[in-house]
Every structure is written in C-alpha cells, then in structure tokens.
Structure 1
Amino acid sequence: MTRLDDRQILTAEITEACAAGARLAPALGLAGIDVRTFQRWRDGDGQVRADRRPEAVRPPPSHALSEAERARIVELFNEPRFASTPPARIVPTLADEGVYVASEASFRRVLRDPGQMRRRGRARPLRSAGLPSTQVATAPGQVWCWDVTFLKAQVQGRWFYLYLILDL
C-alpha cells in the first residue's frame, strides 16, 4: 500500500517528467509503478485519491462458522474430559467418536478470540533460558576453553581430530 502523500509526490513528479517530454510508460517503469496502477490512483478530476482498501466493506465468507458453532467449540473445549487436552488431540478424539465439529485450525482460531488458547495440562509452563554466565579470567590458568574439530585427510573416509585447548 502506498500512502497518500507518497502517491501525490510520485504523481506530481511523473506528471512533471511527462510535461518535460518523457513518455509515461518508461517514467512509470523507472518509478516501479504499473500504468494501470497510475490510472487507478487518479480520479476523474486528475486528483490523487487515497487507498480505499482499509475502509472496504468485506462481508463474512459464506462458509464461516456461525455463532452457534463457535459456542459449541468453546463448550466442547471446556468439558471436564478435555480439561488438559490441546486441540491437536481433541479433534481426533471427537473423530474417533464420529463427531466432527470443526478442523483443528478452526478450533485454534475460535479459541484464540476468548483467550483460551493457553497452555493446558499438568505440565509446567516453558521457562526461558537465562543468559549464559560469563567467565572472567583475571590471571592465567583460571578459565579454559576447548573444542574438537574434524579435519579431512587425503584419503577418503579418514579424518584428523584436532583437539584444541586454550587458556582464556
């Protein structure tokens, strides 16, 4: 999406270039704009108009879940037997019983709205790993580093092992 002020600047510069003798298509090609896009930016008076996509009215798709179906998903999700079960296991369990309510993705999408897509179950929540501890050496022989590297030999399938130990 190009902002209105950027559109106005580009349109003014391209119009100025065309008035100076440049052809429209190469000038638009230099700016990276298609001819049809340039035509769409301008209305009948020659004024530049803003992008109308953000305020466009978009009807819900015909296959969208109804409010009753969404309520059924939330109700199933909150049943005691599924208290500690994620949607990835609820949907197959229901399928084994011969019940199909919605796909796993629909379960996740519906449950994200009321804020119910959190960790479920008895397992502890994930902890983020803390920052690694830094080692500070104030004298020789206090902190040592090591690494093992495999180096190819001239013979196929043979390796040299380089063991490297350094005093930090």
Structure 2
Amino acid sequence: MVGLVKEANKSGARLSKACEVAGINVRTYERWIKEEKIKEDGRKGALRPEPKNKLSKEEYQSVLNIVNRSEFADLPPSQIVPALVDRGIYIASESTFYRILRNEKMQHHRGNTKAPKKIKIPTTHVANGPNQVWTWDITWLNTYTRGIYFKLYMIIDIFSRKIVAWEVWWEENGELASELVERAILSEKIKGKPLVLHSDNGAPMKSYTLKTKLEALGVLSSYSRPRVSNDNPFSEAQFKTLKYRPNYPQDGFKTIEQARE
C-alpha cells in the first residue's frame, strides 16, 4: 500500500487524494514511513505471521486432555504444570494453560462440584396507596404464670400504618393466621384485588394452610431474607410501641379476655 501511494504521489497525484483512494488517512501513511522505513502494520485487524513457538493442534488438544483428567480436574494450572514437570512432562507454560482454559471457557469452574449459583435479590414491594402491601407478625404477651404466653396476631397496612386486623389467641399456627387474613380482607372489602402480604420466616407464616388460603384469596406472599432482622420493621416497631406504653401491664395479663381488652 505504501508503494502504491508513493508511486501515485510521484506521478503527480496529491498525497491526501492518493491516501483517500487507498482507504487510509494521511496521518496513518506518515506514521508508517516516519523512520524512513515501513513500519509493521499495527492495526487490530492486520494479518500477522504466527509465532514460531505456537502450539500445534495436537499440543493444544493435549492441554485440554490433561486438565480434564480426574486427577487435575479441580486443580489450577499453577499446580498442574509443576506436577507434570515432576514426571518429566512439559507441554506448555502456566500462562498458556490459563489462556487455553479461558478460550474454552473452562477457567471459571472445573471439577465435580456444582457451579455456584447467584442468589436472586428478593423483590422490593412499594406501596403508594392503601391496601397494596400488608405486613403481619406474631408477638408473645406475658401472663401472671411464668412460661405461659398469649399470642398477639397483628396485620398492618404499611402505607397508612393502619392496623387492619388483630387477635389474641393461646397458640400460633397457620389456621388461625389464615382466619385473620380472610377476616381482614373482608372487612377492608378488597377481595379479588392485588395485595402483597409480607412476613418473616416463622412456621405459621410459611404453613401450607396459610399458603393455600392466600392463593385462594389471590394474595401474593412475601418473606424476609434469611438472617436479616430489619426486613419487617413495621410490625416490630408497632410491637415495641405497644409493650413500652406506660399503661402496659408489666406483670402480665391474668386472662386472655383481659389481654384482648
């Protein structure tokens, strides 16, 4: 290309026009002949001679065969190459092993163990109006008898912080929870409308009875992330407000009727 441009220039053509016909920029041509000799083509798409020490197809395949052996399947090239050298075998360097593994997409995970899976971040539910997202939880109410507690079920609308339903029972289970949720939906007159019910990962919250009831009512279940204590702050804050009121009976309730009152 340089020879053709020079020939055209000597024949009377302007250098810029000759370069334009050749498909290159004048600056590129000047850079090629800057040191009075034609430089090697440095463009990304340039054709270059293969290096003399390039692995043959047989050597390339032998590297793949070695790294797929059961004894080397879970080892990095930094351990495979020295182990082969100890046996008097040398095929390629560690960097070549790494390059071949990257080319074959085998560097990230090798071995018999399952590849790690990315854990999906739980969906964040946002309420911009009433009766869109509810949260519920259960807290224990102390009694006069040590070791015996009443269970307070409470459902809150996170948009208005309205307590849409609550009840005090002797025990906690999915049947009672499903009864309370159904009562809350009927009292709010939102049966059939989209609703998200958020809770922690307690046994009543994940009971099959409650799940079946929520599916029948068209309610979407949402749960806190494991070992995350602040994923249900609305219910927890309301429980603390309840138990730290000045008129809350610190000695406990005598009867379940008194607790409900």
**TM-score range with shorter-chain normalisation?**
0.3 to 0.5
TM-score when normalising by structure 1: 0.45
Return the TM-score normalized by structure 2: 0.32
